[in-house]
Chain A
Amino acid sequence: MRDRGRSGEEATPRRWRPVGAALAFAAALVIVAPAEAQPPGDASPEAETEGPAEPPAGADAPSEGPATDAREADEPQDEEPASRPSLTPPRLLSAPPVTLPAGAEPLPADAAVELVLTIGADGRVQEAQVLTPLRDDVDALVLEATAGMRFEPAARDGTPIPARVRFRYRLTPPAPPEEPASEEATEDAAEGAEPAGEGAGAAEPGASAEDDPVSDLETDVPSFGVEAVGVQPEPGAAERYTLEGEELTTVPGTFGEPLRVVATLPGVARSPFGLGFFLVRGANFANTGFFVDGFPIPILYHFGAGPAVISSRLVERLDFYPGGYPTAYGRFSAGIVALQTGPPPTDRVRGEFEIDVFRASALAVVPFADGKGSISAAFRRSYYELIVPLFVDGLTINYTDYQVRADYRVDDHVRLSLFFFGDEDILDQRGAFGSGTASANTRTNTRFDFQRVIGSVDIRFGEGGRLTFRGMVGRDRNVFENAAPGSDPLTFDLANVYVGFRADAQVPLAEWTRTLFGFDLLTTIFDVNASAFTPIGLGEYPQPLFTPQASPVDRSLAQALGAFYLDQVFDIGPLQISAAARFEYMRYGDVNRVFPDPRLVVKWQAVPDLLLLKAATGLFHQPPLIFQLVRDGGNPALRPERSWQSSVGAEIGLPERVELQLTGFFTRFFQIVRQVNQVVQTPEGPERQFFVDDGEGRAYGLEVLLRRKIERGFYGWLSYTLARSERVEDGQWEAFFWDQTHTLNLAASYAVGGWRFGARFQVATGRPTPTVVNAAYDADADIYDPTFRDEGRRIPTFHRLDVRIDRDFDLGWVHGSIYVDVQNVYNAPNNEGILYSFDYTQTDRLPGLPILPTLGLRGIFE
């Protein structure tokens, strides 16, 4: 959603206020304002203070401040209670210096970072956020400095109270490089630190996007946590949700894993057992792709409801596109989850660790070349194997991930990075359900590992021009093994080698138009080595036990994918039109052709900063999964799956930093690969086929996001998705296996006095489940063969509450937080499915995850 700028806030008509209050019900449900909460508008002309919790209705941060800005003065003050004469604003007593490393980029004149500080009754800064950033490295330094600031606390009637101020940290530019000016700069910085407002009119941002060659501010996306800043070409995105900032690590139910927040966003149906794959807008799991720096990765999350395969500290930004993603991406017929990686704060040597019940991780950062470069390394290992055997015999789950990253800033215009990361996941199960010798000798083993190296060159030029080159090499290995007594062991060993290259360019042609274009190449060599069973049907018949006889398969396949994309963006007054196309060349199996994907996105700022209307439509192609293309048992002629995605929506700015986004979507799926079992005649003789590409589907629904941006330690959002997903089965439209009518997530978190309390509640309609109307004994398989009927039945509605409490600590040599995160706090007996007795006359439930608490510790050494 478009962030409301100052001009928008003062333009907020008074009639919005009750509406805003009503729509902010989500926040009202969870906010517990302190008793001494300052009434809105209790601002001091000395410092931009305000009450510790309650924001002024209908106003954003600037309106809370003094009338030092003419636009802020327009805010109707008569609605606010009169200022209390007994209120004393906080006053800065001391601030640590900010030392710019030698060789750092020069700062512009009057450089400053505008902050929002929450100052406790003890005069210490409890929370700091960047309101107006200057530059990443400088912002980081200033944020760190806030920890050492000391204030004379705000007071009411002489009693110290917590307060929140807008604070402008002014920096004096360092001397020219030839002068040893670090000390001077440090001194100046310290002197320059002053509360905003002490110098009238000093609240203007110190650096605009245009001034800064490495930060083209883009604010038309909703973000969770800190403000969204787009740094990538963004051609033709219909919707995008961006996750940034440390606050995300405090979302309840994620066990501190910010990237799992995606599961709570609009358009995402609930995945069983919290699997790390998403059901987005009625599509199947495999239709939503995961990208790291523009290149696909096979999995984003570890097994066992684990964290992401990349440390969140190395993730600069996560963009989630539930549909209508930009042409820079492709090859998935539903949504995209795209990670943009970056180094953690690199101002000094630092180490971090995190440990909880399930895993431990560490991260180290070492800067070099006077801060122009840094090397980061991270490692994480789970120890489920120490815990799971206590509860489940024979089950082993563990994962490891590791990352090494080097970044170097050549000058103001050129940045280089090299990122190596890898992952290993193991799921090993010995013994089957049941008991006895045969069960005990059954073993299923799944292993997954991958590595990637991504090199990047980022060049800025002109006014907003940008050129990025990225190259990638990588490998995957996916092994599945199954061994059971009396049966040939089955193995599926897939080893892939990837080489990718992409170039993305953004060229501003005029104020009203810009061109985004690039190409995206990806070549993959798949090596399939399998001992696979021959599916029944052609000479084989059902047997009492699954003891297939294996057939060896040893094949190598090549897949070459190349795309060129072009997006012309027109900004015509309040209207923005993005006319784009991606031309996808696909070569695999028997397919060798170009698939054009035209896309159109239109946005109309109907009411400036208050109401944005948008519409999008486009085509998307996705190549089949590789095992579907293997000539032995697959079908190399499968065409790519195709979807036609369309959406219309509105983004509405509301008071209280509340935003509302409504999106209606309709997606048609074509050429869905479905399973068959047949023999076909080919010129080379008969071939057996198990996949054809004639499946069809459709999905439609409404998405709602009501979000309260983070402010004064509070953030929260409510997302709701009403959806219907269907597939054609035997000529009829039927509910898709994973169809979920309603999905609602409510998340909120509030920080006060070094504590943070959060909760997340989720409700989701159960997926469809058929009704058994009869069961006949199959005398060959020694099982009962049920006859199902679709009577609209579903598994029971899922609901779950997660809570989380964080407590910050600072021992001087280490600071961090300790947290308790409890999933399913009231132990809701959710169902993930229905289990039937052997003759289908009785049922039991497949239970979901029970209450699952964890205790974690996170520390930072500096």
Chain B
Amino acid sequence: MTWPRRAPWIVAMLLPLAGCIDIDLPSPSRITTPRILGVVVEPPELAPGVDLTVSALVLDAEGAPLVPPDATYVWQTCLDAAAVFGAADQPLPGQGMDGPRCVDEATGLIVLEPAPDQPPGFAVLPGEVTQELFDQLEALLPVLEALDPDATAVVRTLIDTVGLPFEVDLFVLDAQGEVLVQGFKRFAITLRDPATTNPPDPRLQVADVWYTGRGVEEPFVCVPEDGGGIVAVPPGAALTLAPDEDDEAWLETYPVVGLDGRLQENQETAFYSWFRTAGGFREDITQRPFREEEWTAPAEPGVYPLVVSVRDGHLGGSACRFEVAVVE
């Protein structure tokens, strides 16, 4: 079914006409159930034959990390030809980039292995497998060419320039093997050099303390840079969370196919998604020039986890969980 994809747009267009709308739906920034809050693929764009490492920040309903062995991470991918070619032309129509993900063996499922020498939950897609995916794609080009002689040239052009999108799926299972949460993350295979990269681990200022995830052994964790204690605020206090402005030097440019069919350079943009288990946020997502977030501390004292997930808008990302104390 394809028409539901348009439904959100239509609903969005109609929303202003609804006038006074009293919508009572939970905020996406509030963690009340197990959630995937960030997925990192390293590198986000790669050439065939290059290793791909995947990792994720997953929290339980209380905001505690949900990692092996308490949970099992299952990573898998496949060659979703309809999705890949749908982005280039129409021989395998109707799917675009939102095609079916790798849900059964019929799609040529590839289950990723745990990454050696990496924390639990990390997995790797070896270079020989990324090459195999690319080879499978190449093998389909004659089929594509039979349907549309020009399509092969288009696909090759895209591989050489903007890249072709693939997806890796994540299933987090509980002790009984039931799926707690699931998600997916895109990566691109391209022959372009240089490809874009991930942003570094987050660095942000909480009140007057700098938190960072760089150099921290535990993945997806930010701690005070000076090695001191976490920030403490009174109940109900407003706390400013400010990503490091200068840190956006990692933003890159990347090629896209413009409206006229020609290549053009676009600039990455930094997005900051914020999550909490308690208290309130002014925004769910911030971006420059209003990248700062404001967290209102809850009334109950305690140590509260907060999460920032950073994205560059072009496959790259990083994330960390940090803590703030609320004291009387």
Report A's interface with B, CB cutoff 8 A.
Answer: 272-273, 275, 304, 388, 391-392, 395, 427, 429, 433-439, 441, 444, 485-486, 532, 534, 536-545, 547, 549, 551, 553, 631-633, 675-681, 685-688, 692, 727, 729-730, 734, 737, 769-770, 776-780, 782-783, 785-786, 788-790, 832-833, 835-839, 842, 844, 846-850
Contacts and interface: CB of A to CB of B under 8 A. Distances in A.
Contacts of A844: 23-25
Contact of B317 (A438, A779, A783, A836): A779
Contacts of B177: none
B309 to A, nearest CB: 7
Contacts of B181: 777
Given A679-B154, A846-B21, A537 B97 contact: yes
B165 A541 contact: yes
B315 to A, nearest CB: 6
Interface stretch (B125-133, B224-232, B277-285): B277-285
Nearest to A786: B4
A837 B282 contact: no
A729 B7 CA distance: 15
B202 interface: no
B98 A427 contact: no
B17 interface: yes
Contact of A777 (B184, B255, B317): B184
B2 A437 contact: no
Nearest to B158: A538
A342 to B, nearest CB: 33
B254 A539 contact: yes
B259 interface: yes
Nearest to B17: A273
B283 A842 contact: no
B111 to A, nearest CB: 17
Contact of B184 (A534, A540, A549, A779): A779
A444 B158 CA distance: 34
Contacts of A436: 282-283
B4 A679 contact: no
Nearest first, the 6 closest Cβ-Cβ pairs linking A and B are: A777-B183, A539-B162, A539-B256, A681-B150, A838-B28, A779-B39
A677 B87 contact: yes
A551 B290 contact: no
Contacts of A677: 86-87, 96
20 contacts: A391-B20, A433-B21, A435-B283, A438-B285, A534-B257, A538-B256, A540-B256, A544-B285, A677-B86, A679-B154, A679-B257, A681-B154, A685-B262, A687-B261, A729-B3, A777-B184, A782-B273, A785-B184, A837-B25, A850-B19
B255 A780 contact: no
Q: How large is the interface on B (under 10, 10 to 19, 20 to 34, 35 or more residues)?
A: 35 or more
B59 to A, nearest CB: 12
B89 interface: yes
A849 B284 contact: no
A688 B260 contact: yes
B26 A437 contact: no
Given A485-B290, A539-B266, A547-B269, A688 B311 contact: no
Most A CB contacts (10 A, CB to CB) among B33, B38, B311 go to: B311
A237 B86 CA distance: 44
B239 interface: no
A539 B315 contact: no
A695 to B, nearest CB: 11
A676 B86 CA distance: 9
Interface stretch (B8-16, B65-73, B206-214): B8-16
Given A485-B289, A538-B158, A778-B183, A688 B261 contact: yes
Interface of B: 1-4, 6-7, 10-11, 14-28, 33, 35-36, 38-39, 56, 86-90, 93-94, 96-98, 101, 150-151, 153-154, 157-158, 161-163, 165, 169, 181-186, 254-262, 264, 266-267, 269, 271, 273, 282-290, 309, 311, 313-315, 317
B36 A541 contact: no
B16 to A, nearest CB: 5
B285 A780 contact: no
A631 B258 CA distance: 12
A543 B1 contact: no
Contact of B89 (A680, A727, A833): A680
B16 A427 contact: yes
A830 to B, nearest CB: 11
B285 A538 contact: no
Most A CB contacts (10 A, CB to CB) among B19, B36, B87, B186 go to: B19
Contacts of B161: 539
B257 A686 contact: yes
Nearest to B254: A539
Contacts of A544: 271, 273, 285, 287, 311, 313
A789 to B, nearest CB: 7
Contact of A832 (B14, B98, B150): B14
Most A CB contacts (10 A, CB to CB) among B4, B93, B273 go to: B4
B101 A782 contact: no
Contacts of A532: 259
A786 B182 CA distance: 11
Contacts of A686: 154, 157, 257, 261-262
Given A729-B94, A734-B1, 5 more contacts: A544-B271, A549-B266, A737-B3, A779-B317, A782-B285
Contact of A842 (B26, B87, B150): B26
B267 to A, nearest CB: 7
B283 A438 contact: yes
Contacts of A734: 1, 3
Given A539-B257, A837-B26, A782 B1 contact: no
Contacts of B1: 729-730, 734, 770, 788-790
A672 to B, nearest CB: 12
A708 to B, nearest CB: 34
A337 B30 CA distance: 50
A273 B15 CA distance: 10
B19 A392 contact: yes
A395 B287 CA distance: 24
A729 B257 contact: no
A837 to B, nearest CB: 4
Given A679-B261, A778-B184, A543 B14 contact: no
Contacts of A429: 16
Contacts of A545: 271, 285, 287
A536 B11 contact: no
Nearest to A681: B150
Nearest to A735: B3
A435 B281 CA distance: 10
A633 B261 CA distance: 8
B267 A549 contact: yes
A849 B19 contact: yes
B14 A730 contact: no
B53 to A, nearest CB: 15
Contacts of A538: 87-88, 158, 162, 256-257
A429 B19 CA distance: 11
Contacts of A549: 266-267
Contacts of A837: 25-26
Contacts of A633: 259-260
B265 to A, nearest CB: 10
Contacts of A632: 259-260
B154 A779 contact: no
A779 B20 contact: no
A100 B172 CA distance: 89
Contacts of B315: 541, 780
A678 B90 contact: yes
A439 B286 CA distance: 10
A654 to B, nearest CB: 40
A436 B98 CA distance: 31
Contact of A551 (B19, B96, B184, B258): B258
Contacts of B56: 779
A626 to B, nearest CB: 16
B285 A551 contact: no
Contacts of B16: 395, 427, 429, 444
